[in-house]
Amino acid sequence: MTAAFTATRGNGDELQETVSDAGTRLTTNMGIPVSDNQNSLRLGARGPTLLEDFVLREKIFHFDHERIPERIVHARGSVAHGTFEVTKAIPELTRAALFQKAGNSCDVFARFSTVAGGAGSVDTPRDIRGFAVKFYTPEGNWDLVGNNTPVFFIQDAMKFPDLVHSVKMEADRGYPQAASAHDTFWDFVSLMPETLHNVMWAMSDRAIPRSLRFMEGFGIHTFRMVNAEGKSTFVRFHWKPRLGVQSLLWDESAKLQGADNDYHRRDLFEAIAEGGFPQWDLGIQVIDPAWAEKQPYDVLDATKLIPEEEVPVQLIGTMTLNRNVDNHFAENEQVAFCPSNVPPGIDFSDDPLLQGRLFSYLDTQKSRLGTANFHQIPINAPRCPMHNFQRDGMMQMQIPKGRASYEPNSLDKAGEVGGPRADTRGGFITARPVTDLGREAPTEKLRIRAETFADHYSQPRMFFRSLTDVEQGHVVSALVFELSKVALMHVRETVLSHLRNIDETLAQRVADGMAMALPAAAEAAVAPVDLPVSDKLSILKQPVPAPKGRKLGILVTDGADGAVVDALKAAAKAAEASVMVLAPKVGAVKLAGGTEIAADAQLDGAPSVTFDALAVVASAEGADQLTRHKKALDWLSDGFAHLKAIAHTAEAQPLLDKAGVSKDDFVLDAGNAQGLIAKLADRNWDREKTIWPAL
């Protein structure tokens, strides 16, 4: 609704916008029409403001209470609406209505987040990313709450507060924000070797994703699926991005934090707004109990993954994010994800970390949102009918009629509404505790951890050895960077002692990077074993993704050849990539021949870290002017250092020379539009050896 108002000026020349239509007039929260929204009620024109002014009091009161407690972890998030469509029915595994037939669909709401930083921190630190999806299924909401790594730092929820306290800002000084490169986190890691597998992922390129659209997601835990006959099957959930997996370089990540704090949020929002709807395929690993019993690790251990080569991922559906939110607070800040939200046919395993999460999330939502009725907030409300006897509480939005607030009752016999009843067949039934992966169900409650959880090194070793040399170099560099920030020498030494159990070469390279001697290897409760290499764990062992969804930046100067710009734009469009034209000054660029082209952005405001490949289409005079432009030199030198493809016209060669861009297979003639677009989603990893030599 937009009011058709009349603009006038008040006694103090303040702008007054007024209407006479009752349907569009401004009111208080109680619907009382407001006559003046510019001035408080005073005792005379220059007198004191009166407490009687209820319009002022309500407005200020509401403003004072606009903010709610931010999430303790995952405070900074980006969200979108979408749909989920089943592509493969699995009734043999689950009785969940959603998965009974291919083509079934439901709405979803997805939230991607950093973990360590606050709501006002940056999008691109080295950090694990949350990957949470709320399915609005016909049998109630299903919240699949995971991360972009398939494992977690700890095995038991008892340790979650300790983990978070260690990685957050140090308690006595309030820094560093959104960073794990400090004493307390690595002290915790050094004393808790179960953290090492996820630490390896956090030190890898997975922790600095190119964008949220190029990020895998994992349910982490082993869940159950239960079919109509009550048969229980253990599964793990995976999200596979249709655009492929891609990461930033560390230097890009650091510079993006200065260039654009909202880079990931902006990228997701703009992609959806432009119709480039991100998609992920949902897959499951179906775990055979006999196979699981033979493994040297426990599949209920959240610090262990199941290699896809041994248990392939079966794709069962596709999520498409196709609508941005209407209001950041109402939807992003108030959305409440709870792993305990599952429809009939999906159930929990005895994973001790999962068991703790089933309590923690519900408790957190009540603390953040101030009421037990947070499920009535529209973004959290189910899209299917909801009936129960829960009543009252703060911010109750529903008005139940009649006396039926309990059951059993017989009020219907008196002609009154009796309310809902349990469905013994269609309702949620917890899987029977028969045998758990071949083992007998427990008969007593114990504070004990299974011996099968004791191997903390074999899977980190498998992960590291599954990476390419380039990726291993990135892990080494990340470890050196993080541990160099640790002031406690004994913590560095303890971490190195653990790294020796993962891979001796890894430990030596990290020690060399810090000019330290290698300590003795840490004592291992279970000797690590050499598991088969899993190529699926490596980003660079996968085929280079298509250019779709990538972004080309074209720097254009006055006098440039417009035909070259047009050819680059056409090639990008054909590959479903986006293009941004930059100029030293925002506005029209006069091309050779007198035509003009509008610039999408000024060079100074669009650093090369926001693009996947670069092109410089310049005249000789324009290139000469740019050789004295620090931002232009940075634009090219950073793009070259970040291993990106760069195309240029011959006239721009002096500019490239001054920026330190030397000729290689990824430095192309700007006339080779197809060649540039073919490299849009790739990087020149050979160039890294000369610019960013691995430690």
pLDDT at 695: 57
Per-residue pLDDT band at 5 (split at 50, 70, 90): confident
Q: Is residue 147 among the annotated active site residues?
A: yes
Q: From CA 81, how far away is CA 297, in angstroms rounded?
A: 38
Please say if the pLDDT value at position 447 is more than 90: no
pLDDT at 380: 87
Per-residue pLDDT band at 24 (split at 50, 70, 90): confident
Q: From CA 481, how far away is CA 467, in angstroms rounded?
A: 19
Pairing state of beta strands 439-440 and 217-218? unpaired
Q: What angle do CA 598, 600, 604 make, to 5 degrees?
A: 120
pLDDT at 389: 77
* Same-domain pairing of 258 and 294: yes
Per-residue pLDDT band at 412 (split at 50, 70, 90): confident
DSSP letter at 651? G
Q: From CA 189, how far away is CA 276, in angstroms rounded?
A: 40
* Same-domain pairing of 557 and 684: yes
DSSP letter at 333? I
Per-residue pLDDT band at 321 (split at 50, 70, 90): very high
383 labeled binding residue: no
559-590 burial, b at 16+ Cβ within 10 Å, e below that, comes to bbbbebbebbbebbeebebbbebbbbebeebe
DSSP letter at 330? I
Cα 251 to Cα 193, 203, 247, 474, distances in angstroms: 29, 14, 12, 11
pLDDT at 369: 86
- Residue 422: inside a domain, yes or no? no
**Cα torsion angle, 52, 56, 57, 58, sign:** positive
Cα 477 to Cα 5, 126, 158, 247, 690, distances in angstroms: 61, 12, 32, 15, 15
Select from 376, 401, 418 the last residue of a domain: 376
Select from 376, 406, 427 the last residue of a domain: 376
Among 81, 104, 141, 147, the one annotated catalytic: 147
Q: From CA 3, how far away is CA 21, in angstroms rounded?
A: 8
**Top mean-pLDDT range of 1-15, 237-251, 416-430:** 237-251
pLDDT at 495: 96
Q: How many domains does one find in the chain? A: 3
99: three-class secondary structure by DSSP = helix
- Residue 317: inside a domain, yes or no? yes
The pair of three-digit structure tokens given for residue 156, joined into one six-digit string: 């038991």
The pair of three-digit structure tokens given for residue 592, joined into one six-digit string: 């050779």
Residue type, position 414, single letter: A
Q: Where is average pLDDT lowest: 205-209, 211-215, 380-384, 573-577? A: 380-384
Look-up: residue for tokens 């957190």?
Answer: 364
* Same-domain pairing of 11 and 144: no
> What's the rounded mean pLDDT across residues 364-369?
86
Per-residue pLDDT band at 662 (split at 50, 70, 90): very high
Q: From CA 216, how far away is CA 238, in angstroms rounded?
A: 8
* Same-domain pairing of 10 and 148: no
Please say if the pLDDT value at position 417 is more than 90: no
Q: From CA 685, how far away is CA 356, in angstroms rounded?
A: 42
Residue type, position 673, single letter: A
* pLDDT tens, position by position, 100-122: 999 999 999 999 999 999 999 99
57 labeled binding residue: no
If we measure between CA atoms, which residue out of 509, 611, 510 comes closest to residue 555?
A: 611
* pLDDT tens, position by position, 36-59: 988 889 998 888 988 899 889 888
- Residue 501: inside a domain, yes or no? no
pLDDT at 331: 96
- Residue 445: inside a domain, yes or no? no
Select from 358, 376, 394 the last residue of a domain: 376
Per-residue pLDDT band at 441 (split at 50, 70, 90): low
pLDDT at 440: 55
Look-up: residue for tokens 């430095």?
Answer: 667
The pair of three-digit structure tokens given for residue 167, joined into one six-digit string: 């990685």
* Same-domain pairing of 180 and 258: yes
> What's the rounded mean pLDDT across residues 68-91?
96
Mean pLDDT of the chain: 92
361 labeled binding residue: yes
Q: Where is average pLDDT lowest: 160-164, 270-274, 573-577? A: 160-164
- Residue 627: inside a domain, yes or no? yes
pLDDT at 438: 52
* Same-domain pairing of 21 and 108: no
Percent of the chain that is helix, strand, coil (3-state, to 5):
30, 20, 50
- Residue 480: inside a domain, yes or no? no
**Cα torsion angle, 162, 167, 170, 174, sign:** negative
Of all residues in the chain, the percent with pLDDT exceeding 90 is: 74
Domain CATH for 99 = 2.40.180.10
pLDDT at 420: 85
* Same-domain pairing of 587 and 685: yes
Q: Could you give phi then psi for residue 113, rounded to 5 degrees?
A: -150, 155
* Same-domain pairing of 1 and 105: no
Please say if the pLDDT value at position 407 is more than 90: no
- Residue 197: inside a domain, yes or no? no
If we measure between CA atoms, which residue out of 305, 304, 313, 256 comes closest to residue 286?
A: 313
Please say if the pLDDT value at position 435 is more than 60: no
**Top mean-pLDDT range of 376-380, 614-618, 691-695:** 614-618
Domain CATH for 594 = 3.40.50.880
* Same-domain pairing of 31 and 128: no
* Full domain range(s) for residue 216: 77-184+209-376
- Residue 439: inside a domain, yes or no? no
* pLDDT tens, position by position, 459-494: 999 999 999 999 999 999 999 999 999 999 999 999
> What's the rounded mean pLDDT across residues 382-387?
86
Choose between 556 and 62: higher pLDDT.
556
pLDDT at 439: 54
* Same-domain pairing of 106 and 12: no
Among 74, 456, 498, 648, the one annotated catalytic: 74
Q: Could you give phi then psi for residue 176, rounded to 5 degrees?
A: -85, 155
* pLDDT tens, position by position, 332-346: 999 999 999 999 999
Check if the beta carbon of residue 179 is closer than 8 Å to that of residue 167: no
* pLDDT tens, position by position, 295-313: 999 999 999 999 999 999 9
Q: Could you give phi then psi for residue 51, rounded to 5 degrees?
A: -65, -20
Q: Is residue 332 among the annotated active site residues?
A: no
* Same-domain pairing of 57 and 95: no
Beta strands in 604-660 (DSSP E): 613-617, 645-648
For 677, what's the count of Cα atoms within 13 Å in the CB-facing half-sphere?
21
Pairing state of beta strands 588-590 and 578-583? unpaired
* Same-domain pairing of 556 and 591: yes
pLDDT at 61: 85
687 labeled binding residue: no
Q: From CA 221, how far away is CA 357, in angstroms rounded?
A: 11
pLDDT at 443: 59
The pair of three-digit structure tokens given for residue 571, joined into one six-digit string: 């090639």
